[in-house]
Structure 1
Amino acid sequence: MKANTRRTFLKHAGIGLLAVPTVSLAKNISLDKVDVAVQAISVSLNVRDFGAKGDGQTKDTAAIQQAIDRCNILGGGEVIVPAGNYLTGAIELRSNVELRLEKDAVIKGSPDLNDYHVMQVRWEGKWIQGYSGLIYAFGAKNIAITGPGKIAGNDKVSGRPTADNPLRRPALIEPINCTDIRFSNFATEYHSMWSIHLTYCDTVNIKNLYIRSTGGNGDGIDVDSCKLVVIDSCDIATGDDCISLKSGRGMEGYSLLRTTEDVHIKNCTFADSIFACIGIGSETSGGIRNVTIENCAFTGAKTFALYMKSRVGRGAFIENISANNLEVSGMQGGFLRFNLSGSGLQDQDPVPGNEGIPTTKNFSFTNIRVTDVPVLVDGGTGIHPNKPLEGFTLANITGTAKSGITLVNIKNANIKNINVTGISGPMLRIYNVSGKGLEGAVTIPAPKSQDPIPQPATPYQLH
């Protein structure tokens, strides 16, 4: 991958310094169409000049951090990491700084948890105490990491919190409450923890990343209560969701109402060994809307290529989700599943009443080519009868599958041009579904649904 020049960085990373109107990426408006003039910044610093050894043995944390801090205070520019193996603890990326990893440069995370800062981080939709990311930023603007080098986590600090150490483990890259972010042309490697975790971020462009992880909890890119995000031309093979979209859990997430919105995923290749290629949820209490997925190849998953998940007690909404021109093969579960009533951990303070049942509308899946998927669409238990899905399109589906389409509790469905062979049993099974293209469907019994959450004795307050 060709390294980006500083001029290119300044042009793209400056997006958002001037007012940018809110737009819907679900309508194919992407960040690379926005061009904002910014003042040229000339600082270029090399971490070797600040004492970094790059020998894989010496901890280079202080040297790299000093170079970043110096670049920031001088007005911004690039911090160059030349070829070498740089063992580091947590590094904080600051405003107006591009961290550029040259060819054969590897930043490797320390095996010692004491080398990571303890701070407020998001974990399963809640803010808790935890270790910072290996490379993190907090409240920064106009930041970038570019390649063609590599960032690798250390397996000794990954995994889930334990009773002995309840702090959340370090993500690999974790900007929090940041704006104008660009990640491009580098590789990542990690085990049993998230590779990239975006939280409360705005205006993000991720392009040409090569992401590899293994083990449970090894998500590739998590978009957590963020807006205006483009993920383009990435190759992601992970131990858990390749991409996960989420927005908080329970009354905490519902009260904060930080929505994930305007997300455009395009031209990517996905493979997953434990769960789904793209997961929407299950932490959805801040709402998720305006998501476009297009021109992507799904080459393997333990469950489904696309898995939409939430539960009673989440509240909020999932709306305006579209997927177009997808190639789907190697699925152990199938192409698409809804589980929007009972997926994920129930929160200690769930959203009560009918308000706690997620609202869903405008789902569209078009021009999909499937190869030997076990199930085409599993929507048999996912939509609550109190709040049917309003608007569902499934059109121009071709290929081979073993089982067809099951849908429940949907209004204004539009099913057309389903040309899939190899189906055993009915192509379409429905309950409480209205709309077009339902001729010949087999009616199934009403699935069991969960009751709304009872009102608590004491109203919830953020704490």
Structure 2
Amino acid sequence: MMFEMNSCFAQVVGVMCIVLLLGSVAECREVDGTLENLEYPAISCRKHSASLTDFGGVGDGKTSNTKAFQYAIGNLSNYGSDGGSLLVVPPGKWLTGSFNLTSHFTLFLHRDAIILASQDESEWPELDVLPSYGRGRDAPDGRFSSLIFGTNLTDVVVTGYNGTIDGQGSYCDIIIQGLTIVAPIDSPNTDGIDPDSCTNTRIEDCSIVTGDDCIAVKSGWDEYGIKFGMPSQHIVINRLTCSSPDSAMIALGSEMSGGIQDVRAENLTAIDTESAVRIKTAVGRGGYVKDIFVKGMNLINMKYVFWITGSYGSHPDNDFDPKALPDISGINYKDVTADYCNYTAKLEGIPNDPFKGICISNVSIASSDKKKLQWNCTDVEGVTSHVSPVPCELLPQKEEKKFDCPFPDEKLPIESVMLKTCSLTSA
């Protein structure tokens, strides 16, 4: 897997980082304890390399390697302007607390390498709050660091041949590819992938089972997110499989005060999931969610297919602006099939701030209970076409046979980013 990091905030299963990409890699060969002919996909190849054992790492699953990781990355950061560096995590179980990555850097996990998150709280320092949030949710005056994290980074890759990063939990150009995330379905706050204030992001070929949103796009919280003003935009999500009985396959918000725009999601599968693509916002959020395009959803055993919430109202403090209303517009869904669903849609706008430009076309939904009211719509405006069951009156059906909701034909620049195959041959 590989993280590409730029100046945005993202959380991936508790990992604070900016980009994650998982791709196929050729396995390196081990000869007399050394690694040679190591190949991996990357945007940039590295000039310098080292092994964690060169810095005192011990892979017995018991010895703390927090200082070894910090020492190794600190030393390798000196090569950022000289071709960059690569740190190999060899076979073993590498117990560690939180460590910070550096720019122009690759972390490579061997096939039999397991990074184990320490259960010692002293190895998880508190960090300052994100400026777009105002306060931390984990700690009174900040937030706990994630296992692998970084801020304001450029050109960072975490990759390997199916190595493992185990959090041991009981409960920009950004590419996230081929990632599998599994968490207990009853575990709280276990979002899979959270691009937060990120631009040019590609998430593809991922499978996620979790107790919270499989993917949650965010951009800051109330007055802090409005002031910081860094949106999440130009995001592509393709070939996602999700199972989350209590949350969404893709959530937009609820922290969206810096804005969310131009999200393109297609080829989506959700099974035993509360909702498909859910927009979450509230009075006081401000910001916007607009130009959202969803195409090709296959859904089985859902509570809701379409769900937009205008009253998702937790706030960081009492200083939020009650006049800061969100702009929700240009929301497009097409080509959806769903079986065993409780409700087709719950679309709840905000009084005096209706959510506009909702378009739904070519949809066939089989309800698990045909006696229930399938559409619940308030304070929304839009159109539908070829949708079954019959939509609510606020979303009248177009009569034109060829009417279809839009999905952009032009590709975003992030979609054309290609990976090289880099090699490392040990001396």
Q: Same fold (TM over 0.5)?
A: yes
Q: Which residue type is aligned with residue 356 of structure 2?
A: E
- In structure 1, the gaps of 5 or more residues are 15-39, 156-190, 193-201, 421-426, 440-463
Please tell me whether residue 77 in structure 1 is matched to residue 89 in structure 2: no
Residue in 1 that maps onto 2:113: 105
Structure 2 matches for 1:234-383, cutoff 5 A?
Answer: 234-301=206-273, 303-331=274-302, 333-345=303-315, 347-353=317-323, 356-379=324-347, 382-383=348-349
AA of the residue aligned to 1:265: I
Q: In structure 1, how many angstroms separate the alpha carbons of the residues matched to 2:105 and 2:52?
A: 13
2:108 & 2:40 partners in 1: Cα distance? 12
One-letter identity of the residue aligned with 2:284:
G
CA pair 249-327 structure 1, distance change in 2 beyond 3 A: same
Q: Which residue of 2 aligns with 1:395?
A: 361
Shift of 1:7: 7.1
Q: Superposition pairs for residues 224-243 of structure 1, below 5 Å?
A: 224-243=196-215
CA–CA distance in 2 between the matches of 1:330 and 1:276?
13
1:71 CA drift (Å):
2.6
Distance 2:383 2:145 in 1: 46
What residue is the counterpart of 1:116 in the other structure? 124
Alignment of 1:44-83 (within 5 A): 44-74=49-79, 75=82, 76-83=84-91
The one of the two structures with greater contact order (alpha-carbon pairs below 8 A, sep at least 6) is 2
- CA–CA distance in structure 2, aligned partners of residues 219 and 250 of structure 1: 20
The CA deviation at 1:115 is 0.7
Q: Please say if residues 125 and 249 of structure 1, whose CA atoms lie closer than 8 Å, have aligned partners that are also in contact.
A: yes
TM-score, length of structure 1 as denominator length? 0.71
Per the TM alignment, residue 123 of structure 1 is displaced from its structure 2 partner at its CA by 10
1:292 Cα offset (Å): 1.0
In structure 2, the residue corresponding to 1:205 is in which secondary structure?
strand
Is 1:96 the counterpart of 2:104 in the alignment?
yes
- Report the alpha carbon displacement of residue 247 of structure 1 after superposing the two structures with TM: 1.4
1:3–1:102 Cα contact (<8 Å) kept = no
Paired residues of 1:121 and 1:130 also in contact (CA < 8 A): yes
- Tell me if 1:429 matches 2:395: no
Which residue of the partner structure matches residue 48 of structure 2? 43
Q: What letter corresponds to residue 437 of structure 1 in structure 2?
A: K
- SS of residue paired to 1:315: coil
The answer to whether residue 149 in structure 2 is matched with residue 144 in structure 1 is: no
| Distance in 2 of aligned mates of 1:300 and 1:360 | 27
Q: Which stretch has the larger CA shift, 357-366 or 275-284?
A: 275-284
CA distance, structure 2, for counterparts of residue 343 and residue 320 of structure 1: 23
Distance 1:300 1:258, change over 3 A: same
Structure 2 SS opposite 1:240: coil
Corresponding residue for 2:139? none
**Match of 1:48, as an amino acid?**
T
Tell me which residue corresponds to 1:159.
Answer: none
Same amino acid, percent of matched pairs? 27
SS at structure 2 position matched to 1:429: coil
1:207 aligns with 2:177: yes
Question: Which residue is equivalent to 2:11?
Answer: none
Q: Secondary structure at the match of 2:256?
A: coil
Q: Distance in 2 between matches of 1:123 and 1:286?
A: 11
1:361-397 deviation digits (Å, cap 9, x = unpaired): 1000000110111111111xx2123222221111011
Cross-structure match for 2:34:
none
Letter of the aligned partner of 1:146 in structure 2?
T
**Structure 1 residue 222 corresponds to structure 2 residue 222:** no
Deviation by residue 1:232-262 (Cα, 9 ceiling, x = unmatched): 1111111111111111222121111121111
Identify which range, 146-155 or 68-77, moves more after superposition. Answer: 68-77
CA RMSD of aligned residues (A): 2.4
Question: How far apart are the structure 2 equivalents of 1:125 and 1:119?
Answer: 13
Gaps in structure 2 of 5+ consecutive residues = 1-22, 28-37, 137-141, 401-427
CA distance in 1, matches of 2:219, 2:26: 32
Q: Determine helix, strand or coil for the equivalent of 1:218.
A: coil
Q: Give the Cα–Cα distance (whole angstroms) in 1 for the partners of residues 399 and 376 of structure 2.
A: 11
Distance 1:330 1:371 in 2: 6
Q: Which amino acid aligns with 1:151?
A: I
Shift of 1:206: 0.6
- The Cα shift of 1:85 comes to 0.7
User: How far 1:9 moved relative to its partner?
Assistant: 4.2
**Closer/same/farther in 2, CA of residues 377 and 434 from structure 1, 3 Å limit:** closer
Distance in 1 separating the partners of 2:263 and 2:24: 30
Is the CA contact 1:4–1:146 (under 8 Å) kept in the aligned structure 2? no
Residue pair 1:406, 1:428 contacting (<8 A) in 2 also: no
**Post-superposition offset of 1:55:** 0.6
Q: How many residues matched?
A: 353
